[in-house]
Copies of this chain bind each other. A is one copy, B any other.
């Protein structure tokens, strides 16, 4: 799409959870072809360097500024890839880019923009755990940087009312360690104490760590910002395996045999 007489593009690219084996071929091809890579430093560092390609790494708290910078370069005719961990559509850069477009230069709406999907943290966690997402589920971010905590509480209660499996993103940060504590406290009021809970940390990376427990026993300190916390429905259960962590299963049926 021509903007101001030049032809640029912006791809919002999901890098997946970390390892190259989970990076989609479309993402690899777009990253290889891009003139400019934009993103939070640790994500930019994951992209193989290529001669002639420019790299623009930034801090984590400036998604909108990063999106505007990428859009400005695309409008100048550059072929820009803006990178996210996981899937850019799930608690990542796709929304920030569209927010910047909505509020920004009207010419940006005519740019050639694509979103390149990736495997998200809950999927990597689910793969290691067995089949916790085998039935209906919710994904909730516990980050309250941009939303009031009251909407998180409302959604946690609704997720319990609906007996959904719950995947919790951004469960804790140094600034707000109490969020996951408050979440467990709320869920203990409305869900069974024996509900399975999994902490899946840095899945696919060298420091991967999986821990299973129950809602009654779940320790908020087990979650950091690299952890995906999975909370079962009333149907979710453990399947023991000799010498290994049990599998976690949410069966395809509901209410069978009860």
Q: Which residues of A contact B (CB under 8 A)?
A: 16, 19-26, 29, 63, 87-91, 94-99, 101-102, 109-110, 114-120, 123-124, 126-128, 130-141, 146-148, 151, 154-155, 157-159, 161-164, 239-242, 247, 249-256
Contact = CB atoms under 8 A, between A and B. Distances in A.
A23 to B, nearest CB: 7
A157 B161 CA distance: 9
10 contacts: A20-B25, A87-B123, A97-B131, A101-B239, A109-B241, A110-B242, A115-B131, A138-B138, A148-B255, A162-B162
Contacts of A239: 98, 101-102, 109
B151 A155 contact: no
A251 B115 contact: no
Nearest to A238: B102
A199 to B, nearest CB: 17
B117 A118 contact: no
B162 A126 contact: no
A134 B95 contact: yes
Contact of A162 (B99, B109, B137, B154): B154
Copies assembled: 2
Contacts of A256: 146
Nearest to A95: B134
B24 A23 contact: yes
A152 to B, nearest CB: 8
Nearest to A147: B254
Nearest to A136: B140
Contacts of A21: 24-26, 29
Given A21-B26, A134-B89, A139-B136, A123 B120 contact: yes
A133 B89 contact: yes
A155 B136 contact: yes
Contacts of A126: 87, 89-90, 94, 115, 117
Given A87-B126, A155-B164, A161-B161, 12 more contacts: A24-B24, A87-B119, A89-B126, A91-B134, A91-B135, A95-B131, A98-B239, A117-B123, A136-B140, A138-B162, A158-B162, A159-B162
